[in-house]
Structure 1
Amino acid sequence: MTGRSARLPGAVRPVAMITGPTSGIGCGYAARLAALGYDLVLVARDEERLAALAVDLEHRFGTRSEVLPADLATAAGRDRAVARVADGVEFLVNNAGFTVSGEFWTLPPERLQAQLDVNVTAVLQLTRAALPPMIAAAKGSVVNVASVAGLVPGRGSTYSASKAYVVSFTEGLAGGLAGTGVRVQALCPGFVRTEFHERAGIEMSSLPEALWLSVDRVVADSLRDLEKGRVLSVPGVQYKAITAVAGILPRTLAARMNRGLFNARGRT
């Protein structure tokens, strides 16, 4: 672990790395961790938006931010982020991820591979790099942002599969980390009011209002569950109910229920 590991140069605050912080849950997490006294390493493709976020967080919370432009769909981008997190952070939020519109068999293979690399490969590699310094310090937290889609089958194919990986990976990892002082969580939100679906070109206007969650609610529930040692965090009573029912149904019936609640056509 190098000298800058747990702090930014000249700073005394602990450091959190957040991927995909320029909007949605990542942005909410950046603001909340800044308010809790963390300096930040902000990782995303858009350097201009990262810089604007860094200025905003410094103005609001006195937070210092290290801006790290990187495309996690590329090996070079992941290598940059991995090198930084291996230096040591106290909190890692693997938030970057995306879905795509269109049926699986119509999409370019390279687009599907990019989705897999952001949603799965980056989570694997960044978590692997973060853990040794955390374990050595006997302190640290990793939040892997998954989805209700990873718990209930039927909402698309590759996206749901990638989030199911994140859930299973995190749950398995938690057992191995018991007693180390390092906490891990799979955060499984339902539909959240963000840019996520708009960017993917998925029409969401028909979704009932009761199924929408706010970013602030998701982040608050995640942090509350982390403090309670809950490895699986499902924000919102409506989604707790849906996942609980799905968990006791045969998988074929659960998938049918999910398709009825959330149309999976035209997405993957």
Structure 2
Amino acid sequence: MSETVLITGATSGIGAEFARQFAARGCDLVLVARSPGPLAEAAAAYRAQGVAVEAIAADLLDDDGLARVLDRLRVAGEGSGASRLPGAPSVTSSGTGIEPGRAPVTVLVNNAGYGLVAPFADNALDDEIRHLRIHIEVPLALTHAVLQSMRPRRSGTIINVASVAGFTPRGTYGAAKAAMISFSRWANIAYGREGIRVTAVCPGFVRTEFHQRMGVDTSSVPAALWLDAGPVVRDALRDTAAGKAVSIPSLRYKALVALARVTPSSLVARLAARGR
């Protein structure tokens, strides 16, 4: 049985890298992104490589957009069997809607998200609530939906892209990521008994468009703290396959997280305020 992987925020950064690596493993892709143009380009490029792709243009903060992705995740399909990350090739399919008989999603990657530059009290409350929704409410809703089809099959994989900020006092971004780390730890235990793996991936500074879109100056970040998206995703997939609830890419960030646990919170907060 081939894997069908749904990735949110799939056209840039870590999401795009997940798509590339899953495609290289022979998996079918369901790409979700807010901007139709880049989404169509990405889908066309994968189809030209012989990869089966569905493209869903959806703003996950819009009720209609979220509902369409939830509907796709609830597709149950037929059959069962152990979910494996390196899926086998399958018959090509494409489209933007829900079709009868469509393959169920066997891997969900909750990647969509963004950051806010200003501190909590300086942001409009509506901006903070939307920020909270994209990082907690949306991934929880998508996870709840996909579990409805994964649990009867007793197999599946859920990857929640969190951040090392979740291990530090870093405003509402860190708080949201901490919530997803905690949830993933619990869910990996609770649903691991049913053959479903749940992993929180916690990168640090990654060379993507994330900080540029925020308008954050990262010139003061030491070069040694920057990671490339490729190794981050490879580490994440390896840790997920091993059943780990938390994946912290690279030894340097593993060491920093361990250090953060024994360092005064005021110092950790000052360092964490620099970025993702």
TM-score above 0.5, yes or no: yes
Q: Deviations over 1:240-266 (max 9, x none)?
A: 0011122244xxx1x3232343445xx
Asked if 1:110 is matched to 2:126, the reply is yes
Aligned twin of 1:141? 157
CA 1:178–1:262 in 2, change beyond 3 Å: closer, same or farther? closer
CA distance in 1, matches of 2:233, 2:125: 33
CA distance in 2, matches of 1:179, 1:101: 40
Identity %: 40
**Residue pairs, 1:54-69, within 5 angstroms:** 54-60=43-49, 62-69=50-57
Aligned twin of 1:227? 241
Aligned twin of 1:77? 65
CA distance in 1, matches of 2:199, 2:146: 14
Q: Deviations over 1:201-245 (max 9, x none)?
A: 111111000000100011000011111111100001111001112
CA distance in 1, matches of 2:211, 2:160: 19
Q: Deviations over 1:90-109 (max 9, x none)?
A: 10000001101122222222
Relative to the length of structure 1, the TM-score reads 0.88
Q: Deviations over 1:7-66 (max 9, x none)?
A: xxxxx7431100001111000000111111111111111011111011112223x11211
CA distance in 1, matches of 2:128, 2:183: 20
Q: 2:268 aligns with which of 233, 258, 261?
A: 258
Letter of the 2:22 partner, please give it: L
Letter of the 1:257 partner, please give it: L
Aligned twin of 1:183? 197
CA distance in 1, matches of 2:194, 2:107: 15
Aligned twin of 1:129? 145
CA distance in 2, matches of 1:226, 1:95: 15
Aligned twin of 2:186? 172
CA distance in 1, matches of 2:179, 2:207: 24
Q: State the secondary structure of the residue aligned to 1:18.
A: strand
Cα contact 2:26–2:51 (8 A) shared by 1: yes
Aligned twin of 2:207? 193
CA distance in 2, matches of 1:258, 1:221: 25
CA distance in 2, matches of 1:169, 1:75: 23
Cα contact 2:168–2:269 (8 A) shared by 1: no
Cα contact 1:73–1:115 (8 A) shared by 2: no
**Residue pairs, 1:140-159, within 5 angstroms:** 140-153=156-169, 155=170, 157-159=171-173
CA distance in 1, matches of 2:133, 2:272: 25
Q: Deviations over 1:152-192 (max 9, x none)?
A: 22x3x111111011101111111211321111100000010
Aligned twin of 2:30? 41
CA distance in 2, matches of 1:182, 1:13: 16
Cα contact 1:72–1:117 (8 A) shared by 2: no
Letter of the 1:219 partner, please give it: V
How many residue pairs get matched? 248
CA distance in 2, matches of 1:77, 1:113: 18
Relative to the length of structure 2, the TM-score reads 0.86
In structure 1, stretches of 5+ residues that fail to align are: 1-11
In structure 2, stretches of 5+ residues that fail to align are: 76-103
Letter of the 1:37 partner, please give it: G
Aligned twin of 2:174? 160
CA distance in 2, matches of 1:38, 1:124: 24
CA distance in 1, matches of 2:109, 2:209: 18
Cα contact 1:184–1:231 (8 A) shared by 2: yes
**CA-atom RMSD in angstroms:** 1.6
